[in-house]
Amino acid sequence: MIYHQHEVVIIGAGLAGSRAALEVSKVADCAVISKIFPSRSHSGAAQGGMGASLGNLDDDNWEFHMFDTVKGSDYLGDQDAAEILAKDAPEVIYELEHLGAPFSRTPEGKIAQRKFGGHTLNFGEKPALRACYSADYTGHVLLHTLFEQCIKHSVRFYSEFQMVHLIVKDNVCRGIVAWDICNGGLHVFRAKAVLFATGGYGRAYKITTNAHANTGDGLGMVLNAGLPLEDMEFVQFHPTGIYRNGILMTEGARGEGAYLLNKDGERFMKHYAPTLMELAPRDMVARAIQTEINEGRGCQSPEQKEQGIPGDFVHLDISHLGEAKLREVLPQIFDLARNFAGVDVAKEPTPIQPTAHYSMGGIPCTTDGRVISDHDNTIVRGLYAAGECACISVHGANRLGCNSTLDATLYGRRTGHTIARDVGDMIYEELPADGPDEAQKNLQWFFDADGRENVADIRSELQDTMMINCGIFREEKLLTEQLGIIKNLQDRFGKIGVKDKNQQFNTEVMEAMELGHLLNFSEVIVTGAVARQESRGAHARNDFTDRDDKNWLKHTLAYRENGDIRLDFKPVIITRFEPKERKY
């Protein structure tokens, strides 16, 4: 076991982690630990834009942005957090531009902005041009810009290190243990402050936009440390994933004017959101698509037609924009549709289906990024969270498009500020004697595992069943069934076999470890979904179709205790906008 000491350790090198690292490294010794090379982080897959009310092309202001974010959250978002998000967004965007981020430009040379779902002018009147973009490579160029700035400021990276253990004792974080994937061996990192920027968990679902790396490891480790997760039942399905593989087709396509069409060639969104149509928020569009499919208006593949099977996708049509325009504003979409759907978007529509995309829930924390351990907002000293793994909660029950790149960067920066302020007064807390040993024991378990169960098979079963039983539409019977399935898969996980016993680059052990996390927090998602007897944002119950503010305008906190999940609740912060019916 190798010991390190850094004042601040950041886990994850996406937009949140790298932006925080830039702040922290100004004043403290800071290391970033990432299980993949920093520029491979999944923030790079964000395509369409980053929201900010610059008003470069219309009369936008931060209050409209805040209102849209709150309404989009189905009023579950904490309004103090949404206010910070909307107010600070322009400053954060300008700062990125000043750091060298390349943006598409208006004819006057300002940052170009496009429409995105649920973003409006004047409290819902008409779509706002709010998403700042770099063609459809926005996340990619922002991630690379921040990574390059980290190079400039000599931020210390431990690349291809997988965190395996979070050391928290007496509500104080003391460090972490990580595994060197390339060379093998455990490394103990003592730190005054640890920031989780570990991203999302789309890999709990079969159809997802998310990378293979997005297995929610950070969430599993927080649960194992006895700390809660918040609002995990809210899972965002992006409306437009490529049929069968779920790869993202940016909302920017609809922002630029794409239509959604059912098998009759009808723009069916007029029945669901007559004002905003295709630019309604994601939860509504995803439900609309699923409803069209469920009611027999899905498009059919030639094979489905031949065999008389109902279609299970709809069409995203953008061909009317013309090839020249498409190549200018959506070049990546061109390649993705060609490579993964065999479609030329300039000539024909792309078959799409909703795809698991984003976690509104996560590690509960304050607007300064301090992780909390209960409904009284008790701070876990030395532990911070930012980005998709955190739940501040900005996005409540449903996140708006182009608010996640913003959330990650803005709250990454803000939490970086917090840590930079705090770290001067902090000390290296004593490591509990058993912390590193426990990590060693857990890792050894994987190397010794010689049961008959197959990791990939358990993972597929989890992904398939989460899709069916805890997807866009939910009901008690299926959710309860899913809890039983997860329990069973957890049992089987105890009997897995790992054939590769090598120390170096053992990705078989890595995948087994990731599966452990998936099985851990998926139980939290489903437990929260069973409990929440209402429909709000991305959580749509067939057996409780209305929002129930009287009983459920509150956040869920979930703890793992003695093997089971215990739920607690915490109030929503409402400042400016009283909950209203949500129509678009």
Interaction between residue 103 and other proteins (CB under 8 A): yes
Interaction between residue 503 and other proteins (CB under 8 A): yes
Burial 279-305 (b: 16+ CB within 10 A, else e): bbbbbbbbbbbbbbbeeebbbbeeeee
Task: Kindly indicate which of the ranges 18-26, 211-219, 406-414, 476-484 contains the residues binding other proteins, using the contact rule CB under 8 A.
Answer: 211-219
Q: Give Cβ neighbours of residue 421 (< 8 Å, ≥ 6 apart).
A: none
Candidate list 164, 168, 248, 557; residue touching other proteins; CB under 8 A = 248
Candidate list 377, 480, 502, 533; residue touching other proteins; CB under 8 A = 502
Total residues interacting with other proteins, rule: CB under 8 A: 65
Shortest distance, CB of residue 320 to other proteins, whole angstroms? 23
Concerning whether 532 is annotated as a catalytic residue, the answer is: no
Interaction between residue 108 and other proteins (CB under 8 A): yes
Provide DSSP, 459-497. HHHHHHHHHHHSSSEE-HHHHHHHHHHHHHHHHHHTTBB
Q: Which is nearer to other proteins, 208 or 482 (CB)?
A: 208
- Annotation-wise, does 15 bind a ligand? yes
The one catalytic residue in 19, 130, 282, 413 is: 282
- Only one residue has tokens 């809660």, namely 228
Candidate list 332, 393, 403, 463; residue touching other proteins; CB under 8 A = 332
Q: Give Cβ neighbours of residue 578 (< 8 Å, ≥ 6 apart).
A: none
Of 363-422, binders to other proteins (CB under 8 A) are none
Beta-strand relationship, 235-242 and 350-359: antiparallel
- Annotation-wise, does 17 bind a ligand? yes
438 within 8 A of 168, measured Cβ to Cβ: no
Candidate list 62, 473, 505, 559; residue touching other proteins; CB under 8 A = 505
Tokens standing for 495? 């009997």
584 within 8 A of 280, measured Cβ to Cβ: yes
* Residue 442: Cβ within 10 Å count: 17
In whole angstroms, give the CA distance from residue 395 to residue 398.
6
| Cα angle 184, 186, 192; round to 5 | 140
Site track for other proteins across 119-158, x = CB under 8 A? ---------------xx-x--xx--xx--xx-xx------
280 within 8 A of 118, measured Cβ to Cβ: yes
Site track for other proteins across 280-319, x = CB under 8 A? ----------------------------------------
Q: Which is nearer to other proteins, 279 or 389 (CB)?
A: 389
Task: Kindly indicate which of the ranges 120-128, 269-277, 336-344, 535-543 contains the residues binding other proteins, using the contact rule CB under 8 A.
Answer: 336-344
Which of 52, 128, 129, 142 lies closest to 89, judged by CA?
Answer: 52
Tokens standing for 270? 């007029």
- Annotation-wise, does 40 bind a ligand? yes
Shortest distance, CB of residue 213 to other proteins, whole angstroms? 5
Candidate list 1, 309, 456, 468; residue touching other proteins; CB under 8 A = 456
Tokens standing for 114? 């496009």
- Annotation-wise, does 140 bind a ligand? no
**DSSP state, residue 13:** -
**Could you tell me which residues are annotated as the binding site?**
12-17, 34-49, 217, 238, 250, 357, 388, 399
Residue numbers annotated as active site: 282
Residue ranges in contact with other proteins by CB under 8 A: 36-37, 39-42, 44-45, 90-91, 93-94, 97-100, 102-111, 134-135, 137, 140-141, 144-145, 148-149, 151-152, 182, 211-213, 244-245, 247-248, 331-332, 335-336, 339-340, 454-457, 498-500, 502-508
